[in-house]
Chain A
Amino acid sequence: MVEKMDKIPGKLYVILLLSLFLININAGIRLEMRTTDGVANNTAVVGQPFLIEVIIDGMQGSVQAPHIEGLDKFFVKRTGMYMSSINGVSTTKYTYQVRIDQPGRYTIGPAKLIHQKQEFVSNTIPVIVENSQSLVNKSKNNKNDELKVFLRLMVDVDRVVVGQKINATLRFYYQDPSISLANLGQTDVTGFDIKPAGKPIGGTVDIKGVHYKFAEWHWEMFPTKAGEFLIPAYSADYEIPLKDNHLLGSFFMFMNNRTDRKRVYSNALKITVDPLPHSNLPVQAIGVFDNIHAQITPAVAKEGEGMVLSLEISGDGNMHAITTPVLDLPSALKYYDSNTTIINDDNNECAKKRFEFIVQGMETGDWEIPEQSFVYFDINKQDYVTLKTSSLSVSIQPSLFKTTLSVPSKNDVISETIVKEDTIAPLNVKGPWYPVATWKPIPWILFYCMLWIPMMFVLYPALCNWSLRFEIMKRRQRKKACKNARKQIIMYMKRNDNKFIYSVFIELFAFLNNQLSSSLESSTIDYYLVQLGFSDYDIKEWHIFFASAAHAAYAQSDKNKVHELCRMALQWIDRLEEVV
């Protein structure tokens, strides 16, 4: 009985071996779906990769990769191939990483393989693809599943226009401080221009009462075409130190790092990119821009010399995508692109892009650089906006070394001719370096007076002659002549001299008659006296007086009668003065 009992397990063992042998001999192909952690699962998250394994058993010789139906609809990457062979019978495993971007129920397979003229067909796998949110909700319900480590992908906007900046953030949350991040998996994103991420920033945050540490990365993305895009999940490989209380644990710790490496995936994000509205203007950027500023230094340059014209655009937008603008310059100015720099401010909210051009004046004169335009699509206003610089003035002067660019020859060789011009006059080394004292000019009023004095000397007689044209002036002149005659007689009277009384009267009558004294006759005086209204008696009296005066002048006169003759002369002058 005991022997029988011993034989039964032995027989069972033989049967088992035979059956296993038979199974092995029975070649086949099968499909399996696993998570990236290697756990068999039929549920996947939108944008998160999962593994599809094709296991081909019992084939003789090497086996080609099978064709899996329905797999070409998704993002597929063959990640590995494993093959083992025992006695010429091989087991081959092909692994594919698959990503599905739309939620739903899908069927992958069957995998088909033709080997040694025999077709092998595998099973099919139903795959349920769900949004990450619904999966999170499920995980919440599962009390055993604790989200101690997770990765989150975030963007500031999920609906943009082509070229609009999207700020993306990837945050790795963890609770255990002993966790170390080993690798951050990059993902293939189509339809976006992705800028390199900056340095990671660390921090802590409380999520629903749970304290987490995190490390985050920021980068900018710019959609390059319109449509709906899915940013697939990013992966992060992290390591957790193993906690074993083995006696030789510390010894093995030196042998290897004794850590467990795990992978976590972020959520995927769907972004809708709208096309830009139609515009006839050349659109240079998308975003929100403050201003465009133009500056040229120096503003005065010699002909052929270079000036630096800088255009500075400040604002928030796709700075990297702004191409070098085409300048609108007068024909006398030539320009060359020189340098482009992007300056970010501390908060990284507003950046500046500076374009530098070398401007060369080809003709002398004053020139104006007109306003330069910058057209962009304002994401706040959802419309095109044109910014303009102010116009600039430049002065091009003839150069000391004049560089003239000749017309390019057939060989396109530009020849330069240098013409040297004269420079300014040399330094004054002789001086005087000190101010030289000079005579001050005569004050202008004094100068005018000095000019008028000799002029008056000449003009006065002429003025007097001219004034005699008028009767009143003539009368005044006559009275004045009488007064002068009186003065002379009084003077002679004082001298007790009557010799010159005759000549005084001759001179007086010559003046009154407007005649020369030499041509004056006695009859002329009589006629003049009659005209003045003197009577015959008066004329007789005059003759007596005039004879006495002539006698006094030409003959010996009585000294006692001098005074009387002078008195008579004064009386006659008084009478004449009254009537002239």
Chain B
Amino acid sequence: MDRSIRRSCLIIIFFSFVMFAGNDEELFLRANKLYEAAEYDKALLSYESISQKGRAVFYNMGNCYFHKNDYPHALVYWMRAEKDATSQEYAMIQYNKNYVLQKIGKNKEDTWLDKIKQLFETFNLYVSILNLQILIFLVWGIFLFLYYYSYLKKIRSFLLTSFLCILATMLFLNYEKNSTLYGIITEQQAHLFSGPDKDLDVIGFVKYADHVIIKEAREGWYKIRYSDKGGWIEAEAIQIV
């Protein structure tokens, strides 16, 4: 009896999952058609209706917001699509992001540090955190083995150490990107308060469509880090990536 109940439950779950998946795919295709017909509001509604959103949905939603001239939201959705994106998708997202930043006059010249960071981020597209962890573990084991049995010559030692450093940097950047919470300012000139209260001092302003790091969240407020300044901002003025 128990077995038959369990089996029927599993069948129901399986079919409901298949049905939902079918609905979501239909919504996705319909939204794409609406987008092609330049009906961005309707397309957005369709994308929003998708219960389990993948990176393609986020990317397309970003495109819709772009055409609605809502650039902060476009950036937010493109950044959401960046997670687990393939190299091709990543290139498209980067192109769009740079285009929008240029449009709103926020494009800046990359420093050499930024360029190195971008290079590592490009490498990170091909490897996940788990892959990197395993790779580091293996290289570390080889390094110790060679050391223990005194096979570690100067060149081998240099090569292995360099490789380990590169892997560690990639792992660090990948981890930082995945664990840090970012936000985009959606208001024209949002106030930066010294605490989560409007009565407290305004310590600065945060510019429209700027990219900030979220440090802490409280009811209706976010603690952010913005250009070497920390402060609190109202939740309405920011969109979390």
- Chain A residues with CB under 8 Å of chain B are 298-300, 302, 364-366, 393, 395-398, 422-436, 438-442, 447, 450-451, 454-455, 457-458
**Which residues of the other chain, A, contact B207 by a CB distance below 8 angstroms?**
366
Task: Decide if B52 is an interface residue (CB 8 Å cutoff).
Answer: yes
Assuming the contacts A395-B208, A424-B96, A439-B130, asked whether A431 and B63 have C-beta atoms less than 8 A apart, the reply is no
Task: Check if B28 sits within 8 Å of A397, measured CB to CB.
Answer: no
Task: Check if A427 sits within 8 Å of B63, measured CB to CB.
Answer: yes
Most buried by B among A397, A439, A442: A397
**Which residues of the other chain, A, contact B89 by a CB distance below 8 angstroms?**
428
Q: How far is the CB of B168 from chain A (nearest CB, A)?
A: 10
Task: Check if A434 sits within 8 Å of B95, measured CB to CB.
Answer: no
Task: Decide if B147 is an interface residue (CB 8 Å cutoff).
Answer: yes
State which of B7-15, B98-106, B192-200 sits at the interface with chain A: B98-106
Task: Check if A454 sits within 8 Å of B129, measured CB to CB.
Answer: no
In the assembly, what is the distance between CA of A109 and CA of B231, in Å? 91
**Which residues of the other chain, A, contact B134 by a CB distance below 8 angstroms?**
442
Task: Decide if B19 is an interface residue (CB 8 Å cutoff).
Answer: no
Task: Check if A425 sits within 8 Å of B95, measured CB to CB.
Answer: yes
28 cross-chain CB contacts under 8 A: A300-B104, A364-B105, A366-B105, A395-B104, A395-B105, A395-B208, A396-B105, A397-B103, A398-B102, A424-B66, A424-B100, A427-B36, A427-B63, A428-B60, A431-B54, A431-B56, A433-B24, A433-B57, A434-B54, A436-B84, A439-B128, A439-B130, A442-B130, A442-B133, A451-B136, A451-B137, A458-B144, A458-B147
- Chain B residues with CB under 8 Å of chain A are 21, 24-25, 28, 32, 35-36, 50, 52-57, 59-60, 63, 66, 69, 71, 81, 84, 89, 92-93, 95-96, 99-100, 102-105, 128-130, 133-134, 136-137, 140-141, 144-145, 147-148, 175, 188-189, 207-208
Q: How far is the CB of B22 from chain A (nearest CB, A)?
A: 11
In the assembly, what is the distance between CA of A302 and CA of B53, in Å? 32
In the assembly, what is the distance between CA of A302 and CA of B69, in Å? 10
In the assembly, what is the distance between CA of A302 and CA of B66, in Å? 13
Task: Check if A425 sits within 8 Å of B57, measured CB to CB.
Answer: no
Q: How far is the CB of A119 from chain B (nearest CB, A)?
A: 87
Task: Check if B92 sits within 8 Å of A435, measured CB to CB.
Answer: no
Task: Check if A451 sits within 8 Å of B189, measured CB to CB.
Answer: no
In the assembly, what is the distance between CA of A438 and CA of B125, in Å? 13
Q: How far is the CB of B129 from chain A (nearest CB, A)?
A: 4
**Which residues of the other chain, A, contact B93 by a CB distance below 8 angstroms?**
425
In the assembly, what is the distance between CA of A299 and CA of B70, in Å? 12
User: CB within 8 A of B54: which of A300, A426, A433?
Assistant: A433
Q: How far is the CB of A323 from chain B (nearest CB, A)?
A: 31
In the assembly, what is the distance between CA of A397 and CA of B89, in Å? 26
Nearest to B147 among chain A residues (CB) is A458
User: CB within 8 A of A397: which of B92, B96, B104?
Assistant: B104
**Which residues of the other chain, B, contact A433 by a CB distance below 8 angstroms?**
24-25, 28, 50, 53-54, 56-57
Assuming the contacts A300-B69, A433-B25, A436-B84, asked whether A428 and B59 have C-beta atoms less than 8 A apart, the reply is yes
**Which residues of the other chain, A, contact B128 by a CB distance below 8 angstroms?**
438-439, 441
In the assembly, what is the distance between CA of A427 and CA of B92, in Å? 10
- The main secondary structure of chain B at its interface with chain A is helix
Task: Check if A424 sits within 8 Å of B95, measured CB to CB.
Answer: yes
User: CB within 8 A of B99: which of A424, A428, A447, A458?
Assistant: A424
Assuming the contacts A428-B60, A428-B89, asked whether A441 and B129 have C-beta atoms less than 8 A apart, the reply is yes
Assuming the contacts A300-B208, A425-B92, A433-B54, asked whether A365 and B28 have C-beta atoms less than 8 A apart, the reply is no
Most buried by B among A398, A433, A440, A450: A433
**Which residues of the other chain, B, contact A438 by a CB distance below 8 angstroms?**
84, 128
Q: How far is the CB of B138 from chain A (nearest CB, A)?
A: 10
Task: Check if A435 sits within 8 Å of B52, measured CB to CB.
Answer: yes
Task: Check if B140 sits within 8 Å of A454, measured CB to CB.
Answer: yes
11 additional contacts (CB under 8 A) given A425-B93, A431-B54: A298-B69, A300-B71, A302-B103, A366-B105, A424-B63, A427-B32, A428-B55, A428-B59, A429-B56, A434-B52, A435-B53
**Which residues of the other chain, B, contact A428 by a CB distance below 8 angstroms?**
55-56, 59-60, 81, 89, 92
In the assembly, what is the distance between CA of A433 and CA of B32, in Å? 11
